[in-house]
């Protein structure tokens, strides 16, 4: 969770310091029901997202950071598009991409659960345009299908099925 003492110390140190060691967000589906949590923490140049999910449709799903820290159900359109401060094209396999919020797909088991960790080297907990806390925060979004890793604007990943706001 947010650590006030650590943040005060970070303000006095070089910009490589982070104001939080990690944050835990709740993810809810379109009915407002919890589908689990994501623990997001700094990792090297970027962040790692540790997912602990339940109640999702089995199969492969896309995971993205979106530009606004709002998750209004049922469609979660208030989260905006993918977090993309550098105005790149979508997709980890796109030579003109990726968006900062693009990440690898993950798999939900036949029981509707997933416990996995996904890395995003293109976002930070720090200051500046690539920070997950820019402009009041971002959102973590789960889509109904897998991301094809190249199609603009969102990899043909389908509807937004779960969302969690990321704020300081």
Residues known to be catalytic? 64, 66, 82, 90, 99, 102, 143, 160
Distance CA 14, CA 33 (A): 41
DSSP type of residue 78: G
Q: Which residues have C-beta within 8 Å of that of residue 69, sequence separation ≥ 6?
A: 79, 136, 137, 138, 139, 165, 166, 167
Question: Terminus-to-terminus CA distance in the chain, angstroms?
Answer: 9
In 3D, which of 101, 105, 95 has the Cα closest to residue 82?
101
DSSP type of residue 106: E
Which residue reads 């005060």 in tokens? 8
The answer to whether the bond into 79 is cis (omega within 30° of 0) is: no
Identify the three-state secondary structure at position 49: strand
């Amino acid at each position: 969770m947010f650590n006030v003492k650590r943040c005060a110390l970070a303000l006095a140190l070089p910009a490589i310091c982070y104001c939080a060691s990690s944050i835990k967000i709740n993810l809810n589906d379109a009915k407002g029901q919890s589908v689990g949590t994501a623990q997001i923490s700094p990792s090297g140049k970027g962040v790692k997202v540790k997912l602990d999910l339940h109640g999702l449709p089995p199969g492969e799903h896309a995971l993205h950071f979106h530009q606004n820290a709002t998750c209004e159900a049922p469609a979660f359109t208030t989260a905006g598009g993918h977090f993309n401060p550098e105005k790149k094209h979508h997709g980890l396999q796109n030579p003109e991409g990726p968006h900062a919020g693009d990440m690898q797909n993950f798999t939900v088991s036949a029981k509707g659960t997933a416990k996995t960790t996904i890395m995003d080297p293109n976002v930070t907990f720090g200051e500046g345009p690539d920070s997950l806390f820019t402009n009041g925060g971002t959102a973590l979004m789960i889509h109904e299908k897998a991301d094809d890793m190249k199609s603009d604007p969102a990899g043909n990943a389908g509807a937004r099925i779960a969302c969690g706001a990321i704020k300081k």
